[in-house]
Amino acid sequence: MYQIRKATTKDIEVIRAMATVVFPHTYCEILSAEQIDYMMEWMYSAESLHRQMTEEGHIYYLAFQGDRPAGYLSVQPEGEHTYHLQKLYVMPDFQGKQLGRVLFGRAIEVIRELHPGPCEMRLNVNRHNRALEFYKKMGMTKVDEGDFAIGNGYYMNDYIMGLRID
């Protein structure tokens, strides 16, 4: 049903096109339009995505149904035995159709390929994001929380969730 493939820098515009739809859709009831615009530029400008992929160790995967982009994820090493699920987004038309579970499973597979022994996957999720319940269903538990300054007077008010991977 879904095809998932590793992204390259040639896919930056595909990621940006999806983010332009799914990021505001996800946060429109949580963040101001100004903060969404700021975060879009901060995380999804072509320059930022290129830096993430070439310098910061983000590994992106894209999901498609046929030729329709359906979602994406990004995993980043974050220490000797920890990996950070930086992004997991499903396009609105594909939400509620199991793609989130598929992408979450792919993130675990990627981490197992990178780290064949026990380790932990972590992620930050906005305290008011309805995806919080999804991550709990996937077995993640809250390990911390914080208000993280991201510039321009904005903060990410997040729970940090963790999942042990054996």
Q: What is the pTM of this model?
A: 0.95
Kindly list the domain boundaries of the chain, sorted by start residue.
Answer: 3-165
- Contact indicator for 83, 96 with CB cutoff of 8 Å: no
Report the candidate in 152, 166, 165, 158 with the shortest Cα–Cα distance to residue 36: 152
Assigned CATH topology for domain 3-165: Aminopeptidase (3.40.630)
- Contact indicator for 16, 44 with CB cutoff of 8 Å: yes
pLDDT digits over 97-153, tens only?
A: 999 999 999 999 999 999 999 999 999 999 999 999 999 999 999 999 999 999 999
Report the candidate in 61, 116, 69 with the shortest Cα–Cα distance to residue 88: 61
pLDDT digits over 27-78, tens only?
A: 999 999 999 999 999 999 999 999 999 999 999 999 999 999 999 999 999 9
Measured distance CA(157)–CA(144) in Å, rounded: 11
Measured distance CA(131)–CA(142) in Å, rounded: 13
- Contact indicator for 10, 16 with CB cutoff of 8 Å: no
Whole-angstrom CA distances from 82 to 22, 112, 117, 120, 121 are 27, 11, 11, 5, 6
